Amino acid sequence: LLTYFDISSAEVRTDAYRSGDPVMIHLFETKQDLYIHVAKLYFKANWDLMGDNEKKKWRKSFKTILLGVMYGMSVKTLAGRLQVQEALAQELVNTMMGEFKVLKQYIDKNMAYPEKHEGFINQVYGDTLRSRSWRFAKKSNGSFDKFELLKVQRHGINWCG
């Protein structure tokens, strides 16, 4: 007996429902492609003038953006991945997160949680997991190592659940 499971959108779908983002949930429930949805918002009438290869490129770009934001990737890193200027990467992120506002709030909340709770990550069943980077993030003088704190923040969204 062979079984096939398509989990290609499992993480995005999970975060859509966990965050309660009504736009994302509607897109999933009506079987729409959320990356194409956002690309159409960004390009407006120009979307229909693009060829299939250009549309595929931009769909992939918006998928990279959403997953990147979900995993705490910086705009600078996204710009490098997309091979675009940082200003354009920021504009694309703003378009996507402007459409999925509730998801953005969920991401921001979970990324901020560990810093406010001594490195603990907001888990479904309580604060049972501490970021392994927390011990390096807080310096002896009470200040934070910026690089290590960013790791802790990424753990806040990557490990929530």
Q: Give backbone dihedrals phi and psi of 40, rounded to 5 degrees, phi first.
A: -65, -35
The band of 6, judged by pLDDT with boundaries at 50, 70 and 90, is low
CA neighbours closer than 13 Å in the CB half-sphere of residue 44: 0
Pairing of strands 120-121, 129-130: antiparallel
The band of 47, judged by pLDDT with boundaries at 50, 70 and 90, is very high
Look at 4-8, 35-39, 61-65, 67-71 and tell me which has the smallest mean pLDDT.
4-8
**Confidence check: pLDDT of 8 > 80:** no
Of 85, 74, 37, nearest to 58 (Cα)?
A: 37
pLDDT tens for 58-110 read: 999 999 999 999 888 899 999 999 999 999 999 999 999 999 999 999 989 88
**Measured between alpha carbons, how far is 42 from 92 in angstroms, rounded to an integer?**
8
Three-class secondary structure of residue 64 per DSSP? helix
Percent of the chain's residues with pLDDT above 90: 53
Over residues 107-132, mean pLDDT: 80
The band of 160, judged by pLDDT with boundaries at 50, 70 and 90, is low
Of 96, 98, 70, nearest to 12 (Cα)?
A: 70
**Measured between alpha carbons, how far is 141 from 143 in angstroms, rounded to an integer?**
6
| pLDDT of amino acid 51 | 97
**Confidence check: pLDDT of 5 > 60:** no
- Number of separate helices (H) and strands (E) present in the chain: 9, 2
Over residues 23-33, mean pLDDT: 96
pTM for the whole structure: 0.81
**Measured between alpha carbons, how far is 15 from 128 in angstroms, rounded to an integer?**
20
**Measured between alpha carbons, how far is 64 from 92 in angstroms, rounded to an integer?**
11
